[in-house]
Chains A and B, each alone.
Chain A
Amino acid sequence: MTIQADRTQRQFTPDPERKLGDDEGPSKPDVKKPTAPNELLKRMKRVDPDQAKKYRQRSGQ
């Protein structure tokens, strides 16, 4: 990491616990979803499918 500070930088010690190797970690579990149709699904189907296409905003901070 490059720190663009013009003051004395602290040394990185001691090293943190870290993982080495190629293991990507656990994979996504097989989660059972609530059965459809349900209220959520009904509501989602009522959303204008083009609303994101039409949604434009000014850049903020």
Chain B
Amino acid sequence: MRPILAGLDTEYGFSVEGRGAGDQVDDARALVRSFPGECFPFWDDRFESPRSDLRGFRLDRLSFDPEDAKFDADRAPEPVHEVRADRVLCNGARFYNDHGHPEYATPETWSLEELVMHDRAGDHAVLSSAAALAASVGREVRVYKNNTDFHGASYGTHESYLVPRSVPVENLISGLMPLFVARQVLTGAGKVGSEQGARCDFQISQRADFFAEAVNAETLYRRPVFNTRDEPHADLKKWVRLHVICGESNLISTATRIKLALTKAAIHLIEAGDQPVWPLADPVSATKQLSRQPDGEGRIELEGRSWTTARHVIESYVEPFLASTLDVTDPYVQELRKALTGALSLLEARFADPERFARSVDWAAKRSLLEQYVESEGVGWRHGSLQSLDLEYHRLDGGVGVFQALRDASLVDPDPPEEETAKRRTRVFEDSRARARSIAVSKFQESLVSASWGALTFKTANGEKTVALDPERAYSATLADCGTVEELIMELEAPR
């Protein structure tokens, strides 16, 4: 089985005491620039193509939120690199200001567990930068790992999966759409109230309110369930980077692991031509309706006036994947099978053992927590304090420490060991191309001109040299032993 290279990028919510949303681009830039560790400040954006669509065309322009654009009405244009304030970290991650949010894009990994740990390393990068900014400006800086401000602004937690371009795009869309609708019952972050449509007290997903179309290439406005941005960050002829924007920030590592495992399993089934077929009546409505059904299995409407449930849909991906991967000697497959078996047991536990379910699923953990408050304080779900508690659940910079209390009481599944996560703040432990980027930043920064997902550019005695990074190739840790940049380039370009 060809392992799927994947990454996670998270736009963090944050606030600086005494400042507002109008200051957020400046503040996000200042936060990123406050990163206290070693890093490299030049990202190569020559290979980016956010307006290209997988379906074979290019958009004239991307839409933007007209309300949000008002913040920039009087803002003088600045060079992109000034606004983004890119930092390439020693672990190969990209840390930058994206639309007024500090965004941490993990180094790409094959392993689920590595990606979960790098996601946690991202929390540390943002927190340490926020602490440095707070010390520098003398104001409190709060950090939230969530996806909404409860006033109609959303920001993303995206997944990237590298898929061969030979897989027909219509198969990717029809094969993944049912999972994208259904997986929220295991991976939703939970939200008090709603920001669009009919009011509700609590819903499974933070993002469901913000989807307007089934399929398009937009990300800032009229967001789709299936995003068709065609920006592979690798050989365009060979690869597609599946850009998944319908996911959300998970505080519980199990949920992150399951989100990634379910999607990888679906991609493997699609590549084999074995994906389940669910003719959804309307993916956008189905996403919103399922989000608003935290009780009961919840319906997903199908064409022909029939319906199914999220559980049936998820099982239709997991069971054939498990049945087709009986050779469990491959560590990549072992990790996937373990996470997917866990997903099946959670679907069973949802009603049979809700406390077990709430240990692994953010929306259920949050809801259980808030129910205690509602019962104890005698307030309704529409009381303002409930959304404040929802927000506090996602707060990373200490604060009252609601989520930490859940961890301390073993009411949620444990994270990977802290000492292992800490190592990923500065290193890459896989042979992925992220290792080459990591070594270039850590050991050859003086010769580095720019870095990106798919290439490194170096200064050499003969001028600048750009070296492509192959997403399929294994990059050995011995690259760090190269004595000169020329030697490193030779190793990076050596045929394999």
Contact = CB atoms under 8 A, between A and B. Distances in A.
Tell me, yes or no, whether A binds B: yes
B174 interface: yes
B405 A39 contact: yes
Interface string A1-21: 111111111101111111110
B100 interface: yes
A46 B220 contact: no
B68 A58 contact: yes
Given A1-B279, A9-B174, A61 B308 contact: no
A55 B144 CA distance: 11
Interface residues of A, number: 52
A5 B100 CA distance: 33
Chain A interface mostly: loop
B11 A61 contact: yes
A18 B306 contact: yes
7 contacts: A4-B215, A25-B296, A31-B368, A40-B369, A45-B377, A58-B153, A58-B155
A47 B402 contact: yes
Contacts of B220: 59-61
Given A18-B307, A61-B99, A52 B219 contact: no
Going nearest first, the 8 A-B pairs with the smallest beta carbon separation are: A60-B155, A25-B297, A58-B100, A52-B387, A49-B385, A57-B149, A61-B219, A28-B295
Nearest to B404: A43
A43 B400 contact: yes
Contact of B100 (A6, A37, A50, A60): A60
A17 B302 CA distance: 11
A13 to B, nearest CB: 7
Contact of B214 (A2, A24, A43, A52): A2
A16 B214 contact: no
Interface in B208-242: 214-216, 219-221
Given A7-B169, A9-B170, A46-B400, A41 B368 contact: no
B280 interface: yes
Contact of B392 (A37, A51, A56, A57): A51
Contacts of B307: 18-20
